[in-house]
Structure 1
Amino acid sequence: MNTSARALHLAGMLSAILMGLAGCGGGDSDPQTVVAPSIDPYYNVCRGVDPACYNDWGAFANSPNRVLIYSRTAGPRHANLGTPMAAGLNPAMNADNVMQAGLKRMFEEAGIAADWTEDVTVIANRINNYKAVVFASSNRDTLWNEAVTTSNDAARTALRNYMRRGGGFVGLHNAFGAEYNWPYYEGLLGNANFYNHAPNRNGDVQILADDPSTQGVPARFAFQDEWYNLTPFPTNVKFLAKVDTATLDPLTASPHPGHKDFHPVAWCQYYDGGRAWLTTLGHNTHSFQANSEGPGAQAFQKLVVQGVKSVMGLTPFCTATK
Structure 2
Amino acid sequence: MPTSDVLVYTRTAGYRHDSIPAGAEAFVEMSREGGLAAKPTDDPGVFTEDRLERCAAVVLLSTTGSVLTDPGRAALEAYVRRGGGLLAVHAAANAEPDWPFYGDLLGTRFAGHPPLQPGLVRVEDTTHPATAHLPAEWAWTDEWYDFTSPPRDADVHVLLRADESTYTGGTHGADHPLSWWHEKAGGRFFFTALGHTSESYAAPAFRAHLSGALRWAAGR
TM-score higher than 0.5 here?
yes
> In the aligned structure 2, how far is the partner of 1:110 from the partner of 1:207?
24
Q: How does 1:101-250 map to 2 (within 5 A)?
A: 101-124=25-48, 126-144=51-69, 153-189=70-106, 191-213=107-129, 214-234=131-151, 235-248=154-167
Shift of 1:269: 0.5
Counterpart in the other structure of 1:312: 218
The unaligned stretches of length 5 or more in structure 1 are: 1-59, 82-96, 145-152, 290-296, 315-322
Give the alignment's Cα RMSD to 1 decimal.
1.3
The unaligned stretches of length 5 or more in structure 2 are: none
Shift of 1:121: 0.6
SS state at 2:26 partner:
helix
Shift of 1:227: 0.6
> In the aligned structure 2, how far is the partner of 1:110 from the partner of 1:204?
29
TM value normalised by structure 2? 0.94
> In the aligned structure 2, how far is the partner of 1:171 from the partner of 1:270?
14
Aligned length: 216
Tell me the amino acid that sits aligned with residue 158 of structure 2: F
For 1:238-295, what per-residue CA distance to the aligned partner results, in whole angstroms no more than 9, with x for missing partners? 10011111112xx3xx212xx1211111000013211101111110110113xxxxxx
SS state at 1:74 partner:
coil
Shift of 1:124: 2.6
Tell me the amino acid that sits aligned with residue 279 of structure 1: T
Counterpart in the other structure of 1:255: 170
Percent identity over the alignment?
36
Shift of 1:188: 1.0
User: Comparing both structures, which one devotes a greater share of its residues to strand?
Assistant: 2
Shift of 1:215: 1.4
> In the aligned structure 1, how far is the partner of 2:40 from the partner of 2:142?
24
* Mapped contact 1:135–1:171 kept (Cα < 8 A): yes
Shift of 1:221: 1.5
> In the aligned structure 2, how far is the partner of 1:157 from the partner of 1:166?
15
SS state at 1:107 partner:
helix
SS state at 1:283 partner:
coil
Match among 237, 258, 268 for residue 181 of structure 2: 268
* Mapped contact 1:193–1:233 kept (Cα < 8 A): no
Bigger relative contact order, structure 1 or 2 (CA pairs below 8 A, ≥6 apart): 2
> In the aligned structure 2, how far is the partner of 1:313 from the partner of 1:277?
12
> In the aligned structure 2, how far is the partner of 1:246 from the partner of 1:232?
20
Match among 206, 212, 217 for residue 300 of structure 1: 206
Counterpart in the other structure of 1:74: 13
Q: Which has the larger radius of gyration?
A: 1
